[in-house]
Amino acid sequence: MDSSQGRGRRRGRRSYSQGWVLLWAFLCFSLCACSSGQLISAKRRAHFQRHLKRLNKKPVQTFQSPDGDIIDCVHISNQPALDHPLLKNHTIQTRPSFHPLRLNGGEIKEELANGETSGISQTWHLKGRCPENTIPIRRTKEEDLLKASSVRRYGKKHRGPPRPSSLDSEAMSNSGGHQHAIAYVEGDRYFGAKATINVWNPQIEQSNEFSLSQFWILGGPLGGDFNSIEAGWQVSPDLYGDNRTRLFTYWTSDAYQETGCYNLLCSGFVQVNTDIALGASIFPISAYGGSQYDISVLVWKDPKGGDWWMQFGDEYVLGYWPSSLFSYLGDSATMIEWGGEVVNLGENGVHTSTQMGSGHFPEEGFGKASYFRNIQTVDDANNLNAPDDISTFTERSSCYDLRTGSNDKWGNYFYYGGPGRNGHCP
């Protein structure tokens, strides 16, 4: 054998050995990466389970709703609200001391227009009701947390209410895709708000968008550390995992930074009602050119205890936000807003087709456009008043718009909404 052949075999053996080393290194790296991924997943899942345990209290009874929700009936003294540091020794108030629906000794009764009804229920009621001394809570699932950007931010808003009195081009460019069509009052001290809102199921183009109709009770400067209490209905695939229309509430005491959440997804709101589950779907829904269904929502500050109570419809007093949660709203509100909000996340200047309200413009009127009617505020004497100094605001009226009116049956009202992308809103 000549020397050149020997050198060739040695080079071949070295190449062969180096190949095995590289293969072994690759396999080891892949195995380590896989193991590391499993370890991270296990840690994250453990974190999820701890958070779910805090949210999902031990139930007395459970219902599997036809819409896929699980409703747990939790003893009233074991609800999430009482985990709040400020409410550790809180005594649950079973009813408000005063009610602003009473005027001259009798309750205000609203007249309904032809073809209109307020007979709305929740889907889980088809399976039953919770027993006495319990409250219904929509169970949070692990897949709900998986969709969140973080466990810490789950159930929280990322942006505050519109600022119509100070809006400029810079504010619009930094709006994060949030668009509104609202009526509002400011410049006084307010102790509550009320509205009757008809209920629709707007279409959402992207799962990380939403559409809602609500009112905001605001205290403090909107450019600062303001407080907010909010209530209405919404469609939010990211939050609920579907496109159903749901009753919701929200609160914050620090401009959406750390405090507050939707519904009962954190400690704070004290529920006392056995029949209504916050975050659960509501039905029936208004139909374009057909039957119209609406909900009435009232939030007011109890003159005696100072807590902010919420009522749904004419009969369901749901519960309250303790006054101790707030700074500015510990006294009164400085602004009330009513209306619709959507998130539009279209790219390259192209608007999405996410709808607000019915998805139709206000000029189409009753049976086709969405409305707020009998909008009222509560004064310091605990009386409901129809405001006479209402202003309106939209960022892009070609996408979503609003028109106000007044009559004997509906008091102050407005139609609002729109389709998003259309010939005038590209």
Catalytic residue among 341, 347, 363, 364: 341
Tokens for 181, please give them: 């069509």
Whether 170 is catalytic: no
Query: What's 369's DSSP letter?
Result: S
Catalytic residue among 142, 230, 337, 364: 230
Residues 6 or more apart whose Cβ sits within 8 Å of residue 359:
200, 202, 203, 417, 418, 419, 420
Tokens for 309, please give them: 């109570």
Using CA atoms, how far apart are residues 155 and 82, in angstroms rounded to an integer?
18
Using CA atoms, how far apart are residues 155 and 261, in angstroms rounded to an integer?
5
Q: Look at strands 308-312 and 316-321 and give their pairing.
A: antiparallel
For residue 117, give the H/E element and its range. Answer: strand 116-117
Amino acid (1-letter code) at residue 134:
T
Whether 341 is catalytic: yes
Q: Please provide residue 211's backbone torsions phi and psi, each rounded to the nearest 5 degrees.
A: -140, 135
Using CA atoms, how far apart are residues 137 and 54, in angstroms rounded to an integer?
13
Using CA atoms, how far apart are residues 101 and 317, in angstroms rounded to an integer?
12
Instruction: Tell me the catalytic residues.
Output: 230, 341
